[in-house]
Amino acid sequence: MVASKAGQIATICLNEQRTVSADWYTTIYLTKAITELRKINPERRIILHQDNASSQTAQKTRQYLTEENVELLDHPPYSPDLNPNDFFTFPKIKNRLRGQRFQSPEEAVDAFKNAVLDLPANEWNKCFKNWFERMRMCINLQ
């Protein structure tokens, strides 16, 4: 999922039984995410925060981001709760979808997308404010 302070921008789903590889991450996920971000404001710089998954730290990914002029905000090692999806989006959506049963993976993805779209802009703003506070704490603690 791609988000900003204004809210959710894009949900990019991984096909069933697939693995997130550097190839999928660059050619599918990042390509769509960067395209959607540039549609909103083509002149604004893009700063990406991602965790330390191998697909996100791969040379292919770093090279792609450089070619696309996307700045990368490194994720400190051993800091799993700095990604806004980890500490904000997924817990909120998990609570909203708790107890529901889905007949197909597509139905589950649609429910996820709808729950994300229902989050108000002020919640996203709080998320990013909290993210900056978490980053500041990490920096202060080295």
Q: What is the CATH number of the domain that holds 95?
A: 3.30.420.10
Q: Long-range contacts of range 26-30, CB-CB < 8 Å, 24 or more positions apart? A: 26/60, 26/61, 26/64, 30/61, 30/64, 30/65, 30/68, 30/70
Tell me: pLDDT of 133 over 80: yes
Tell me: pLDDT of 59 over 90: yes
Domain count, the chain: 1
pLDDT value for 112 = 86
**What residues make up the domain containing 22?**
2-140
**Cα 64 to the center of its chain, rounded Å:** 17
Q: What percent of the chain has pLDDT over 90?
A: 18
CA distance 110 to 49: 25
Q: What's the mean pLDDT in 50-59?
A: 85
Neighbours of 8 (CB within 10 A): 18
CA distance 141 to 134: 11
